Structures are given as C-alpha cells and as structure tokens.
Amino acid sequence: MRRRGDDLSHDLPDEEKDELEAALRGEAERLRARGDDRKRTRKIHRANEISRRKSRRAHQGRN
C-alpha cells in the first residue's frame, strides 16, 4: 500500500513528469464534466505535487 507522500514519479525525467502532469490535469477535467469530484480532487492534488517538486528542484539548481 502506498503511504501518503510517496512520490511514484521521483525517478522520472522532467519530460515524462510534464507529460504525466498534463495527463492528470486532462483526466481531472474529464472527471469534472462527469461530476466525480472526489477522484478529480485526487488527480489535481497529484499533478500539483509533481509540479511543486519540479519547481523546488529547479530552484535548488538540480536538473
């Protein structure tokens, strides 16, 4: 079982992280149209976490 805070994308290159983030946001939009807010929120939170970690690494100078 995944623990909260585990990042399954930590070892992916930035290009793949960008694709994963975009896919999650796209899926969240489809879920919004269906009215499934609970799953949508999880997708958005995961996409935001990927984005936040990429940003933090960029500011630390680790690409």
Flag whether pLDDT at 5 surpasses 70.
no
> What SS3 class is residue 8?
coil
pTM passes above 0.75? no
C-beta separation of 25 from 47 below 8 A: yes
pLDDT reported for residue 54: 85
Which pLDDT tens digit goes with each residue over 8-61? 666 778 889 899 999 999 999 999 999 999 999 999 999 999 999 888 877 776
pLDDT reported for residue 6: 60
Q: How confident is the model at residue 4 (pLDDT cuts 50, 70, 90)?
A: low
Taking the C-alpha atoms of residue 55 and residue 57, their distance in angstroms, rounded to an integer, is: 5
